[in-house]
Structure formats: structure tokens, C-alpha cells
Amino acid sequence: MSGRYLVNFDSRRLPQESWDLVVLGSGIAGLYTAHAAGRRGWRVVVLTKHGVEDSSTDRAQGGIAAALGSSDSPELHYQDTIAAGAGLCDRDAVRVLVNEGPERVRELMEMGARFDRENGRLALTREGAHSRRRILHAAGDATGAEIQRVLSLAVRQLPGVEVRENHFAVDLLVHEGRCYGVLALAGERLKVFWGRAVVLATGGLGQLFEVSTNPEVATGDGMAMAYRAGAELMDMEFVQFHPTVLSLPGAPPFLISEAVRGEGAILRNARGERFMPRYHRLAELAPRDVVVRAILAEMEQTGVPHVYLDLSHLDPEAVRQRFPNITRTCAAYGLDITKDLLPVAPAAHYMMGGVKTNLHGETSIEGLYACGEVACQGVHGANRLASNSLLDGLVFGGRIVERVAGSPAGPARRPEFSCRELEEAPPLDVGDLRRRLKRVMSRHVGPVRDARGLEEALSFFAQWSFLEKHQAAGVEEMELRNMLLVGQLVAQAALLRTESRGGHYRLDYPAPRDIWLKHIILRR
Ligand code: SIN
């Protein structure tokens, strides 16, 4: 059965641990789920492949959307989310998100999250495609870091919860449609973690592209692992690119929050002209996919590999106060954000698709749950509304714990698991292949696609399919194998969807088509 596991192993010969819940990943979704379970007195282990704070959550700037403002309502939040999702949102999932979101955010505040306030009230900002100011933020533009801080602390205070860093989840242990646990690499050693339930909260796949806002750890591991184990994946063609990432030689692809445009910043092309009003009535606050394509078009027309973000007309003191992190980082690269034009370009940012779940986080495999970016219950449709992702992790993470609590415990006897047939790991220049993969994904599976390019991408992946017969040696090679698998799935789904919708744009099919008002589900 080549392609099922990444390594040979025999569960009987490996060290083993048993837990109520095994959570993979330590961003908002993983930590909130672990906390909700720990509060019930469950024994929970959180496995995270690097440090606990190496997550997309920790980097999130703009904030977390929730209908908490006096002129706002869950209904308005619902309408904005549905409109951004370009016809593919699951309406029930969106209802759950917008109705339960405010309560989850209040809970975060009770746990100690300090969101910014103005005159004693929550300071709410606006971002693209939101009809109201509804984005909570913390320390100006360090919202994710505040949430990560609070959840990391809260989880560590629960006696039943343990966080294990440098634990790389390799493969899921699934027998006859039920998940029993996880095979993980703990440092150098393989180990088995059994759980009554396993929760995937491993985040996204931005590292499949040359330029991404995501941390190094975002290599699509959870999606790859779930696919190998036979779970269904949905909407894999929908990758969101963020329009404004600092594009300066020698600087990292640092996100310049959409909230900057929410506060009035303007996009200009290399000729200094404001261009967004020509593309959409909401101008700079149009849905992200629209802004991304407009920027790419302007870059092509001017022959300059970036456009500019202009904040020079805004009150400098207010800008510095509202965006201290962006001010500091840009200053380190010689840019004064209150005066200078900031060179920006799009970068891979968020995966709308992922492991298919229902509204309770249940995947197509019993005992296996998913939440946060790795999951896809259809709440974001073809294009996520800004600042809905942190909320998604909270809401659906919490629902998983309720569902597990109400489910019967699995069979008392666990099967044994093994894999013996994989050949030795072949010599592989992992760094070189990773770079080639990123180049192929960026050229052919990025924000603008066509059949020829997608077929080229698929033939690149086919060239490496022989690796399935071999063991993967070490974490870097395992990540690479996951990237090869998930990249192929994104390209496959993108080739199948012969239309343009939300984050998926096909030059050869530039319009949406009603026959495609449906989801693509992939299964091994
Ligand atoms: C941003 O601050 O622009 C990112 C927010 C998001 O992706 O939801």
C-alpha cells in the first residue's frame, strides 16, 4: 500500500502514551480546543512540531472579527461573509460562526486577552469587504500574539494538559474507518500517542509558495496526513493570497495588515496613480482576491514587481499608535510608514480548503476531528473574509470538544499498526527540491492559473511520485513529502474547476459558471 505511511514502523515496538485527546498544532484552534477539553478535566496532549508560538496565529495582525459593535449584528456579519465567499460558503457553518463568535471572543477576554479600547469601549476597525467596523485588535497590530500569549498561558495552567514541542506528527493510525492515534517523531524517536479522539489543528500550507506570510512550519502536514489516512479533503483549489506584503530586497515577506487600508491607506501603482477605484466600487476595501488581481495587473502594466501602499495623508501620530509593529518593522528596513511609499506585492496567506468536516469538526474518519486552517467546513467558501480565521479556530475548536464529550468512547481494544514495505530513503537534495516545488507552485498554481500551467505543475509532481515507495528520513524530508502531496492536490482541484471564483482564477475560464456552484472533494 505505498503512499499510506511515510516510514516503516511497528506500534508494538514503540514507546506509547494514552490520552483522552491528542491535539496536533498549537495555534488558536489547537490551544483553544486543548483548553476547552482540559477544563473538563480531560487528559490532553498537544503535539507541536516546533515551538508552541511558531504558528500563523502568533503572526496575525489585523484582528478577530465579531459582531460586538453597537451598529453591528451577526446577520450583517453573515451577509458579508457570504458575499466574500463567492457562492461557495456553507450557510449553516457561517451562521454558527457569526452567532457563536461573539461569545467565544468574550471568553477570550475573560481569559485575559487585552483587546484595544477607545474611551472604555472596544476599538473596532474595518477591513476589506466588511460593511461595519467589527475587527477587534490588540497592541495595535499584534492581535495574534496577544491571543497566543493568553491561550499558551491558560493551557499551561491546566494540570491535565501537556504541550510537547518538537513533536512532529508523522501519520494517523486509522483502522476500519476509525482513528486511534498518531505516530509522531519525538525528537529523533518514533512514538505512538493513542487518543479517544485526535484533533488536527496543524494550520495551512503557505510554505508551498515562494512568498508567504505564513511561518516556516506551514507545510500542509495535517492535510497530507489526513489524505494518506483516507480522509476527504474539500476546496483544495482555494488558496488566498494577501494583497499587501512588504516587497523589499533583503526584507522578509512581512504582512502589512489590511487594517492599514481599513484606516484609509491607498494603493498606488509605480507611476504613483491610485488604481483600485477602476477595479471595484469598494476600491482598497474590495474583497482580497479582487485587490490581488488588480495589483498583479498593475505590476504587469508598469513592469515593476510591486505597487505602493500610501499612508502619507493620514495623521502620523495616529498611524504610529495604531500600527506600532508595522511602524517598527518598516523602520528597520529604512521606511517611515507615515511618509514613505511602502512597496508591497501579494503573497500566499490562507488556505480556504482542507480536511472536510461537518459543523462539529468531525471528519470522514471516526475519532478524527479538524479545526482552524487545516479544516474545511465551508465557512470561508471560495474566499475568506478578512479576520474570520481566528474566529473560525475558536468557534469550531470549541464545538469539537462538545461533540467528543457526547460521543461514546471508542473500542476498548486497539489494533496494532505497522508498515514494513517501504524501501530505504533515497538520496535527496531536500532544499533544492523544496525550492523547485515552490517555484512550480508560484508560477502555475498561484493567484492566476490556466490549464497549461496546471498540467505542467502536475507533471512536476508526477515525476516525484516514486518517492511514495520510500521512507522519508527526518522531519525536513517528511515536510517535503507532505508539500509534494498537498501541492499536487491543489493543482488537481484547480485543473478540475474550469471557472473563476473567489481565490481561484483561471485565465482560460475567467468567469464564474453556475455548474461549478459545488465543491470538489478529493480522497485517496
Ligand atoms: C491582515 O491583518 O490583513 C490579515 C487579516 C486576515 O488575514 O484575516
Query: Residue 508 forms beta bridges with which residues?
Result: none
* Catalytic entry in 196, 228, 288, 322: 288
User: From the CB of 58, is ligand 1 less than 6 Å away?
Assistant: no
> Do 422-514 and 9-238+352-405 have the same topology in CATH?
no
Pick the CATH number of 422-514 from 3.40.50.920, 3.40.50.150, 3.40.50.300, 1.20.58.100: 1.20.58.100
DSSP state of 296: H
CA distance 125 to 140: 10
User: From the CB of 259, is ligand 1 less than 6 Å away?
Assistant: yes
User: From the CB of 257, is ligand 1 less than 6 Å away?
Assistant: yes
CA 416 to chain centroid? 33
Domain 241-348 part of CATH 3.30.2350.10:
no
Residue partners of 156: CB distance under 8 A and separation at least 6: 163
Q: How far is the CA of 124 from the centre of ligand 1 (A)?
A: 14
pLDDT the model gives residue 220: 98
User: From the CB of 61, is ligand 1 less than 6 Å away?
Assistant: yes
Over the range 321-358, which residues count as b (16 or more CB within 10 Å of their CB) and which as e? Answer: ebbebbbebbeeeebebbebbbbbbbbbbbbbbbbbbb
Which residue of 64, 81, 127, 256 sits with most ligand 1 atoms within 8 Å of its CB, as the best mutation to test the pocket?
127
Q: Which atom of ligand 1 is nearest to the CA of 61?
A: 2
pLDDT the model gives residue 410: 79
**What residue's CA is closest to ligand 1, atom 8?**
387
Active-site residue, 288 included = yes
User: From the CB of 247, is ligand 1 less than 6 Å away?
Assistant: no
Over its C-alpha atoms, the chain yields an Rg (Å, rounded) of 22
pLDDT the model gives residue 192: 98
Contact assessment for residue 24 and residue 198, using Cβ atoms and an 8 Å cutoff: yes
Q: Which atom of ligand 1 is nearest to the CA of 389?
A: 8
User: From the CB of 57, is ligand 1 less than 6 Å away?
Assistant: no
Q: How far is the CA of 178 from the centre of ligand 1 (A)?
A: 36
User: From the CB of 56, is ligand 1 less than 6 Å away?
Assistant: no
Cell readout for 447 is 493567484
Q: Report domain extents, the chain.
A: 9-238+352-405, 241-348, 422-514
Q: How far is the CA of 287 from the centre of ligand 1 (A)?
A: 12
Q: How far is the CA of 285 from the centre of ligand 1 (A)?
A: 12
User: From the CB of 258, is ligand 1 less than 6 Å away?
Assistant: yes
* Class for the domain spanning 9-238+352-405: alpha beta
Is the pTM above the cut of 0.85? yes
SS (H, E, C) 211-242: CECCCCCCCCHHHHHHHHCCCCEECCCCEEEE
Cell readout for 441 is 507552485
**What residue's CA is closest to ligand 1, atom 7?**
386
Tens digits of pLDDT across the chain (524 residues): 579 999 999 999 999 999 999 999 999 999 999 999 999 999 999 999 999 999 999 999 889 999 999 999 999 999 999 999 999 999 999 999 999 999 999 999 999 999 999 999 999 998 888 999 999 999 999 999 999 999 999 999 999 999 999 999 999 999 999 999 999 999 889 999 999 999 999 999 999 999 999 999 999 999 999 999 999 999 999 999 999 999 999 999 999 999 999 999 999 999 999 999 999 999 999 989 999 999 999 999 999 999 999 999 999 999 999 999 999 999 999 999 999 999 999 999 999 999 999 999 999 999 999 999 999 999 999 999 999 999 999 999 999 999 999 998 878 889 999 999 999 999 999 999 999 999 999 999 999 999 999 999 999 999 999 999 999 999 999 999 999 999 999 999 999 999 999 999 999 999 999 999 999 999 99
Q: How far is the CA of 59 from the centre of ligand 1 (A)?
A: 10
| HSE of 451, CA atoms in CB hemisphere, 13 A | 7
User: From the CB of 392, is ligand 1 less than 6 Å away?
Assistant: no
Q: How far is the CA of 1 from the centre of ligand 1 (A)?
A: 41
pLDDT the model gives residue 498: 98
